Chain A
Amino acid sequence: RKEVEQDPGPFNVPEGATVAFNCTYSNSASQSFFWYRQDCRKEPKLLMSVYSSGNEDGRFTAQLNRASQYISLLIRDSKLSDSATYLCVVNSLYNTNAGKSTFGDGTTLTVKP
């Protein structure tokens, strides 16, 4: 079983739809959490950090449930440009204050006109 698991999808949704992705992690000592976006043949780019209290950035909302060890990402009013692979990232902490990142395999989203 992978340390970070995501539903690979693909999720095919029409423009304007709301879509949600979940991610579960197995390391209870995990310290911080992120969602990255990766376009085809491009590098991963940080989308947003995920905080325990939940956080929102425009059309994107991230939630963390430490007790159940899952993270979610909600995208409202989907745009064609949201089509990408969304990577869930879980950090454990080195004693050097750097985070060791473990990536899920990603969830693929395709938004159609």
Chain B
Amino acid sequence: GAGVSQSPRYKVAKRGQDVALRCDPISGHVSLFWYQQALGQGPEFLTYFQNEAQLDKSGLPSDRFFAERPEGSVSTLKIQRTQQEDSAVYLCASSWSGGTYSNQPQHFGDGTRLSIL
């Protein structure tokens, strides 16, 4: 399809395990964002890429969280030594940004629902 694709849709892991979440943005979209959404709250910003460059990682909650986008398209969010408080929905969004019209709205994937037992 033409939308943002995330996998897996659901992930259950034991506390202490490492997990990797994948995001495939809309083709041609330069900007890619990761968000964390807890139940009953809005998405909270984690990190931002422009192409392969990670320009803002101020929202990553700890050094257990790591994101990459090595070729400027697919991105992976990795969480090491998972904790129960990491349980949330992880949303990826992409936008086309550039030219004279800036600040395009973001298009979201379905999210990965992560549960840490």
* Closest beta carbon of chain B to A35's beta carbon, Å: 10
Contact between chains at B110 and A98 (CB < 8 Å): no
Interface of A (DSSP majority class): strand
Contact between chains at B55 and A94 (CB < 8 Å): yes
Number of contacting residues on A, CB 8 A?
26
Q: Does B62 contact A (CB under 8 A)?
A: no
Q: Does B18 contact A (CB under 8 A)?
A: no
* Closest beta carbon of chain B to A59's beta carbon, Å: 20
Closest B residue, CB atoms, query A106: B42
List CB contacts (< 8 Å) of A27-62 with chain B.
31-32, 34, 42-46, 49
Q: Which residues of B contact A68 (CB under 8 A)?
A: none
Contact between chains at A100 and B98 (CB < 8 Å): no
Contact between chains at B45 and A98 (CB < 8 Å): no
Cβ contact of B42, chosen from A34, A42, A105, cutoff 8 A: A105
Using a CB–CB cutoff of 8 Å, the interface residues on chain A facing chain B are 4, 31-32, 34, 42-46, 49, 87, 89, 91, 93-94, 96-106
